[in-house]
Amino acid sequence: MARFDKQQVMAKIAEAPMVPVFYHKDAEVAKAVVKACYDGGVRAFEFTNRGDYAHEIFEEVVKFAAKECPDMAVGVGSVVEPGTASLYMQLGACFVVGPLFNPEIAKVCNRRQVPYTPGCGSISEVGNAQEVGCELCKVFPGDVLGPKFVKGLLAPMPWSKLMVTGGVEPTEENLKGWFAAGVYCVGMGSKLFPKDKVAAKDWQYVTDKCREALAVIAKLR
pLDDT by residue, tens only, the chain of 221 residues: 899 999 999 999 999 999 999 999 999 999 999 999 999 999 999 999 998 999 999 999 999 999 999 999 999 999 999 999 999 999 999 999 999 999 999 999 999 999 999 999 999 999 999 999 999 999 999 999 999 999 999 999 999 999 999 999 999 999 999 999 999 999 999 999 999 999 999 999 999 999 999 999 999 98
Tally Cβ neighbours within 10 Å of residue 79: 29
Whole-model pTM above 0.95? Answer: yes
In whole angstroms, give the CA distance from residue 31 to residue 27.
6
In whole angstroms, give the CA distance from residue 172 to residue 176.
6
Q: What angle do CA 186, 192, 198 make, to 5 degrees?
A: 150
Strand partners, 44: 73
DSSP 8-state class, residue 98 = -
Instruction: Tell me the backbone φ, ψ of residue 33, rounded to 5 degrees.
Output: -70, -40
Handedness of CA 14, 17, 21, 22 (dihedral sign): negative
| Predicted pLDDT of residue 221 | 86
| Predicted pLDDT of residue 54 | 98
In whole angstroms, give the CA distance from residue 183 to residue 215.
16
| Predicted pLDDT of residue 207 | 98
Q: Which residues contact 181 (CB under 8 A, 6 or more apart)?
A: 147, 148, 150, 151, 154
Strand partners, 18: 186
C-alpha closest to that of 165 among 135, 134, 121: 121
Q: Is the peptide bond before 115 cis (omega within 30 degrees of 0)?
A: no
Fold of 6-216: TIM Barrel (3.20.20)
Instruction: Tell me the backbone φ, ψ of residue 173, rounded to 5 degrees.
Output: -60, -50
C-alpha closest to that of 47 among 189, 205, 218, 213: 189
Query: Which segments of the chain does DSSP mark as H helices, in order?
Result: 6-15, 27-39, 54-68, 82-90, 103-111, 123-131, 142-154, 172-181, 195-199, 203-220
Residue 184 CA to its chain's centroid (Å) = 12
| Predicted pLDDT of residue 117 | 98
115-165: per-residue pLDDT in tens? 999 999 999 999 999 999 999 999 999 999 999 999 999 999 999 999 999
| Predicted pLDDT of residue 51 | 87
